[in-house]
A and B are shown apart, each in its own frame.
Chain A
Amino acid sequence: MAPAIHAGGMAIDAGRTLAATCANCHGTDGHSVGGTESLAGVPRDTLLRKLSAFSRGEKPATIMHQITKGYTPEQLTLIAEHFAAQRARTGH
């Protein structure tokens, strides 16, 4: 993957940009405003287990089994690490 890059004092690393592709359903940085799971603050291994299960067709889904197949295992790991590193918010 591309190395971490500094812009405006903050690294735009590959995990952050990859995780941003999930935001149209799961909210900015995984903070869902409702109707989908909030991914922010969910432990890395929990997320990876779910993502892998979707990708292998082992977890029932309407859409996630189709989406997860578009990402490599390395990309799914970066995405899970990014969400795990976010602080969960309450009140949404």
Chain B
Amino acid sequence: MTNRRHFLAAVGAAALAGCAQIGKSARSAHVVVVGGGFGGATAAKYLRLWSNGQVRVTLIERNAQFVSCPMSNLVIGGMETMAQITHDYAGLRDHHGVRVVQDTVTAIDPATRELRLASGERLHYDRLLLSPGIDFMPERIEGLAGHEDEIPHAWKAGPQTTLLQRQLAAMPDGGVFAIHIPKAPFRCPPGPYERASLVADYCRRHKPRAKVLVLDANADIQSKKGLFLAAWGDRYRGLIEYRPNNQLLGVDARSRTAKLEFDDIKADVLNVIPPQRAGKVVELIGSRLVNDRWVSVNWLSTEVSDVPNVHVIGDATLSAPRMPKSGTMANQQAKVAAAAILHLLADLPPNASPVVMNTCYSYVGGDSAMHVASVHRFDTAEHTFLPVEGAGGLSAVASPAEATAAQAWAHNIWADMLR
């Protein structure tokens, strides 16, 4: 009960006093959120919203602006601009009272609940939420590390998106655009196949003799397989070539050559999506990563399994069964985390039956999209989220109506996290 009293006392104190330091028992709780993407920005907003502005929230984000990975394949295909997928953090600051700090975290001490920034600032937290997304493991592919300018990944939206778009625009007609997809799990399972589709759409209009070569380390298309194959056969016959089980062993950056087990392929544009792991900031909490890559969390609260008072959400987590690493899922997990953190700060157990859902749109051309959806309920016996059987599913067919729905999704989720 002590914590709860402190917390409720803090509510009163903050309301009355504008919060002069009245001693530890009366301070308002402080949550630090690291990472201003779909997970972190949403969590920061909902922590403020659901605490009625009583919990102090600091958001640490290294970039000045948010650039959305979802819809960024449209920029590569020349159908949208960077400005359309770029948003600022002013809404979180001005509408919701989040302290937004553009900085990086250099140290975290879970024992003292203190965190240090590159600027030298030290912050104390009652609860810490990390939503760092992914980092890449280019060292797994010989010759790739240090060459992301010649061989872009464009798997974090930003300058890499622009770079890949320019490389495509500069490619000669008759050129080869090769995409490599790493073994699952990776961020956004349908994303690489959407990219292949939109690059093909661009080529059909601007470079009709070009070829899009999809080199997939996996045995098959990882999401929306039938719908992608239908679109490729229908719209891009002879333009897209799909090769499963094509593990990339190495690259030569100068000649843009992909080295596979049985042959070498020289491309005009070589887009290698490297293997991925949890964003490296998670190393600062000393959690034991699963397969040296992902953070194991208690899905009821999103608290890290072996580090108290620290929560992790989004792509960095070891996903629950059939839960994709997607922006929507990070947005949904952020709300589970925000509610759980507020309950725990009040010394109450987290909601025992949280629900999350996923809605994921992919374009097959500039004017046509399709979806996959699922709903996940916390299962007490398995102590994890499980998909609800009989719910969710795929589009019957890709359509212009769903391209409109995809735009509605993007604008609403960006507003839900940032405005």
Name A residues whose Cβ lies closer than 8 Å to a Cβ of B.
1-2, 5-10, 12, 14, 16-18, 20-21, 23-28, 32-36, 62-63, 66-71, 75
Contact = CB atoms under 8 A, between A and B. Distances in A.
A35 B412 CA distance: 9
Given A17-B354, A18-B355, 19 more contacts: A5-B351, A9-B51, A9-B54, A12-B342, A21-B335, A21-B356, A23-B416, A24-B328, A25-B413, A28-B416, A28-B419, A35-B411, A62-B395, A63-B359, A66-B373, A67-B357, A67-B375, A68-B391, A70-B375
Contacts of A1: 353
A24 B332 contact: yes
B50 A10 contact: yes
A21 B393 CA distance: 17
Given A10-B50, A24-B416, A36-B412, A70 B391 contact: yes
A16 B45 CA distance: 15
B230 interface: no
B19 interface: no
A67 B351 CA distance: 21
B295 interface: no
A74 B8 CA distance: 31
Interface stretch (B208-216, B283-291, B302-310, B400-408): B400-408
Contacts, number: 144
Contacts of B336: 17
Give 8 closest A-B pairs by Cβ, nearest first.
Answer: A70-B375, A35-B408, A8-B51, A70-B391, A8-B54, A7-B342, A69-B391, A10-B52
Contacts of A25: 359, 405, 408-409, 412-413
Interface string B125-159: 00000000000000000000000000000000000
Contacts of A28: 45, 49, 415-416, 419
Contact of A33 (B11, B390, B411): B411
Given A7-B343, A8-B52, A36 B357 contact: no
B374 interface: yes
Nearest to B48: A8
Contacts of A68: 391
A67 B415 CA distance: 21
Contacts of B50: 7-8, 10, 12, 16
B348 interface: yes
Contacts of A12: 50, 339, 342-343
A36 B361 CA distance: 15
Contacts of B376: 70
Given A9-B52, A25-B412, A28-B416, A20 B335 contact: yes
Contacts of A75: 355
Contacts of A66: 373, 391-393
A67 B373 contact: yes
A14 B412 contact: no
Nearest to A36: B408
19 contacts: A1-B353, A2-B351, A5-B351, A8-B11, A8-B51, A9-B11, A12-B339, A21-B335, A24-B328, A24-B416, A25-B405, A26-B412, A27-B412, A28-B45, A35-B411, A62-B401, A69-B391, A70-B376, A71-B355
